[in-house]
């Protein structure tokens, strides 16, 4: 990039010799060019952007998921190059699923939109339409490798890669609850606590229906496992996790670890959702007792 930004050859940028009457210019790739000084009336330094950036390495990524496997994706890098996509995965997708996505105006599964109002690339401040291409997605846990081989404006090849997480739309769901309360329920068993969790923006809410010792008046520290028998030391089938972007509703199983220091609880959940997705959910704080769910 900036191939023709001249640099000084001898004392920094160029050298004029009285005998040879030539000027030597070295560009940023080390290529030297000699000019006859008799034909040079002015020397100026102009930075010219290369229209072909090579393979762009994106450094940040974000997702705004909707329902039915559709999501907006944004990728950026330090020099201002930006890629905006409206991508359609499988309708049951809860995260960006690995596979190959093809440019198409149809908005069907395994495609990304070619409408320039929804998908585009910005280079040096200019927005370009995506007219063809493929996106290949691979994932290892929550670490993605996404490669882009696109055609812009029907003629320019654009290649890029992103390596890293995709917060909020990754295979392992990582959530932090900011509130936990015990809600009243109909016909509770002795020692049953219906815990209700949510985060500040209500992007998710969760019920964990815990069964403690029959004489327990507050939640006892320990590890609770899922059981349909609803015996002490377990949580039962009323337990469900609901997310809103995208909308999902899943029962789950896996250990729920409860620790307590004074009035402060630390609750860590390492779960497998009924959809097969992993979820890690953490809460730290007091547990409120309410008379309404």
Does the CA dihedral 108-112-115-119 come out positive or negative?
Answer: positive
Digits of tens for pLDDT over the chain (293 positions)? 443 333 333 334 444 444 556 666 665 555 555 555 665 555 655 444 444 457 999 999 999 999 899 999 999 999 999 999 999 999 999 999 999 999 999 999 999 999 999 999 999 999 999 999 999 999 999 999 999 999 999 999 999 999 999 988 999 999 999 999 999 888 899 999 999 999 999 999 999 999 999 999 999 999 999 999 999 999 999 999 999 988 899 999 999 999 999 999 999 999 999 999 999 999 999 999 764 44
pLDDT of residue 54: 79
pLDDT of residue 91: 93
User: What are φ and ψ of residue 168, in 5° steps?
Assistant: 85, -5
Range 221-229 contact pairs with CB under 8 angstroms and sequence separation of 24 or more: 221/258, 221/259, 221/260, 222/257, 222/258, 223/255, 223/256, 223/257, 223/258, 224/255, 224/256, 224/257, 224/258, 225/253, 225/254, 225/255, 225/256, 226/252, 226/253, 226/254
pLDDT of residue 38: 61
Residue 75's beta-bridge partner residues?
61, 83
Structure tokens of 10?
A: 């001898």
């Amino acid at each position: 990039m900036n191939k023709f930004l001249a640099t000084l050859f001898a004392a920094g940028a160029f050298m004029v010799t009285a005998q040879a009457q030539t000027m030597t210019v070295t560009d940023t790739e080390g290529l030297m060019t000699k000019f006859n000084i008799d034909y040079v009336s002015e020397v100026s330094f102009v930075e010219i952007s290369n229209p072909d950036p090579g393979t762009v390495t994106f450094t940040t990524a974000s997702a705004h998921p909707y329902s039915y496997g559709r999501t907006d994706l944004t990728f950026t890098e330090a020099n201002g190059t930006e890629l905006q996509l409206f991508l359609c995965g499988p309708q049951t997708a809860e995260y960006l699923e690995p596979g190959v996505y093809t440019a198409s105006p149809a908005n069907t599964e395994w495609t990304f939109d070619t409408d320039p109002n929804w998908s585009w690339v910005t280079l040096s401040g200019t927005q370009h339409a995506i007219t063809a291409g493929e996106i290949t997605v691979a994932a290892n846990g929550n670490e993605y490798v996404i490669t882009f081989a696109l055609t812009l404006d029907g003629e320019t090849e654009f290649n890029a890669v992103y390596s890293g997480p995709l917060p909020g739309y990754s295979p392992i769901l990582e959530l932090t609850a900011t509130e936990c309360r015990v809600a009243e329920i109909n016909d509770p068993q002795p020692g049953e606590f219906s815990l209700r969790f949510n985060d500040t923006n209500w992007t998710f809410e969760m019920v964990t229906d815990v069964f403690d010792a029959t004489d327990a008046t507050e939640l006892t520290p320990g590890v609770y496992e899922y059981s349909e028998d609803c015996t002490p030391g377990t949580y039962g089938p009323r337990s469900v996790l609901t997310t809103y972007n995208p909308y999902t509703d899943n029962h789950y199983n896996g250990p729920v670890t409860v620790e307590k220091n004074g009035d402060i609880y630390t609750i860590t959940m390492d779960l497998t959702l009924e959809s097969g997705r992993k979820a890690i959910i953490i809460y730290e704080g007091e547990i409120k007792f309410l008379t309404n769910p």
